[in-house]
Structure 1
Amino acid sequence: MGLDMYLIKKDLVEPDQISNEHVVLYWRKANQIHHWFVTNIQEGVDECGMFEVTFQDLTKLYHCCRSVLRQNERAPYLLPTKEGFFFGSTEYDQYFFYEIKRTKVELRNLLATFDFNKEKLYYTSWW
């Protein structure tokens, strides 16, 4: 058991008609990333629904990751950890910064290749 988090791509077949779902990014117990999505996408409500993510949202998260990696002391302000049952460590340790770096790289690739005109992107989590 633990915090599992996903960015899911859904293809748009026709306007307002969605088919084909694919996981494009997965995290496990990266509670700082989950906290960012809860605060910025889910309007502060921590629930296991599906929440649409825009290009602007991903860009904002990408810049937060980049800033934290450039100035580690900004981590508690830009990407604070979040306590929760099975959410993993809340320490600003090697694992914390590894997940930030991995997220930054994955988001850079996603921002360069994802077609927001033909596909929709959603965040969801489960614990």
Structure 2
Amino acid sequence: MGLDLFFFERAKNAPDESQYARVGYFRKVNPLLKWVDKHVGLVRNQVLLEVTKAHLQALLSDLQSLTPDNCGAVYPTIDGFFYGYTDYGEHYWKDVRAVTHWVKETLETFDFERDRLMFYAWW
């Protein structure tokens, strides 16, 4: 068991029963779960949640503003039986770099006019 975070895309004009394509995945990056829950909407286990371009821009801004002094307020970890680490050590900063890279790349390449970006958490 663990915390798996997915991002999927699907054409806006696709039928509701059509498949989603995975465009992002993070394992046990609980600060991302907390951020989405606070800034996008209530995160529930195995329920899709739409993420807009504005959400990703806000996430990138927060990630780029992180320092050791403000990280607990801007992009905090959360406790959970299988959510992973809760300290602000090397694992935290490695995940910050990975999420920042993914967000930048997604903002450059994702077609928000044509497709929907969906967040999905499984724990």
Do they superpose with TM above 0.5?
Answer: yes
Matched residues in 1 for 2:3 and 2:19: separation? 24
Alignment match, 1:73: 69
Q: What's the counterpart of residue 117 of structure 1?
A: 113
Contact 2:4-2:121 within 8 A present in 1 as well:
yes
Q: Secondary structure at the match of 1:110?
A: helix
Mapped to 2, the partners of 1:25 and 1:85 lie a distance apart of 24
Local SS of the residue matching 2:24: strand
Cα distance between partner residues in 2 of 1:73 and 1:47 = 30
Letter in 2 for 1:78: V
- Cα RMSD between the aligned structures? 1.3
Gap change, CA 1:46 and 1:55, over 3 Å in 2: closer
Structure 2 letter corresponding to 1:4 = D
- Deviations along 1:55-105, one digit per CA (max 9) or x if unpaired, are 00001011111111xx22210010010111200110001010101111111
TM-score, length-scaled by structure 1: 0.89
Stretches of structure 2 lacking an aligned partner (at least 5 in a row):
none
Deviation at 1:38, TM superposition (A): 1.0
Runs of 4+ in 1 over 2 A off after TM superposition: 17-20
Is there any run of 5+ residues in structure 1 with no aligned partner, and where?
none
1:58 aligns with 2:56: yes
TM-score (norm 2): 0.92
CA distance in 2, matches of 1:46, 1:30: 14
SS of equivalent to 1:5 = strand
Q: Is the 8 A contact 1:11 1:20 kept in 2?
A: no
Q: Which residue of 1 aligns with 2:44?
A: 47
